[in-house]
Structure 1
């Protein structure tokens, strides 16, 4: 069997390419996020809050596709950094509401430098990156459908 016809050839696996690409891209973010005191998952949470604040913890988890066990410690760290507040909702005491602090809002200005820096580090055109984003969005939707029962 040649590598071109081997269904188990490592370099033909979508999962392998996605895994390597993901680690590589997140690695590019690390030195840019470090001065802000953020990890990549924390940065994603801040992006969601800058776009949609206020959010319940449940809503934030849905947007980030993270479970409560993963999201809760992440939010505690962001609160410890002084970027967010978590408080019980006045409408529903069971729900935690997440809002940005003034420092969290200020951080957005610094974070606006990150996307152009990533584009520059990747050395890809905006058209290529938009095409990649669209393809990955289709993969995400396909996997979501595949995981649905029935």
Structure 2
């Protein structure tokens, strides 16, 4: 009788590599989902629209921090989305020297459409999980994130 080998525990470095691979595959899945539905955009553009839709107008620096891009990459990203009519740079309400980035009506409509692409990509990635496994995975990842951010 042949027995299956016991699973090898992941070392910390293997876990880090696995988390990175999962992230990369999720991004790829999302970008393929967007392309399959006729949306010409990458993950960073999707994420910028998502953050602006969820949090409202913000400065370019705030957006850059929330989507983890440097200033130059953020400027190029904003230029592309502005040229497509999805966002606008508008004066800050209290500081005339500052600009806020806001979704246009077209950007809000686009987000309403592409939000479903993100949901489908994530559902496809987790379709093999039982409901209780999904809950446990979410709890574990939330715990890791809280620890990394300095929480309990």
Q: TM-score, normalised by structure 2?
A: 0.74
Long gaps (5+) in structure 1: 146-150
The counterpart of 1:132, out of the listed 125, 134, 137, is 137
Distance in 2, matches of 1:86 and 1:99, equals 7
* Cα deviation 1:44-73 (Å, max 9, x = unaligned): 111111111111222222322333233221
Distance in 2, matches of 1:127 and 1:67, equals 38
By relative contact order (CA 8 Å, sep 6+), the higher-ranking structure is 2
* Cα deviation 1:79-125 (Å, max 9, x = unaligned): 12211001332422342201111110111221232244124422244
Distance in 2, matches of 1:76 and 1:124, equals 39
Distance in 1, matches of 2:104 and 2:69, equals 22
5 Å matches for 1:1-150? 13-34=14-35, 35-122=38-125, 123-125=127-129, 127-145=132-150
Q: TM-score, normalised by structure 1?
A: 0.75
Mark the CA change 1:76 to 1:119 in structure 2 (over 3 Å): closer, same or farther. Answer: same
Long gaps (5+) in structure 2: 1-7
Mark the CA change 1:30 to 1:7 in structure 2 (over 3 Å): closer, same or farther. Answer: closer
Give the secondary-structure state (helix, strand or coil) at the position aligned to 1:25: helix
- Number of residue pairs aligned between Structure 1 and Structure 2: 140
Matched residue, 1:148:
none
User: Which moves more between the two structures, 59-68 or 28-37?
Assistant: 59-68
* TM-superposed deviation, 1:144: 4.2
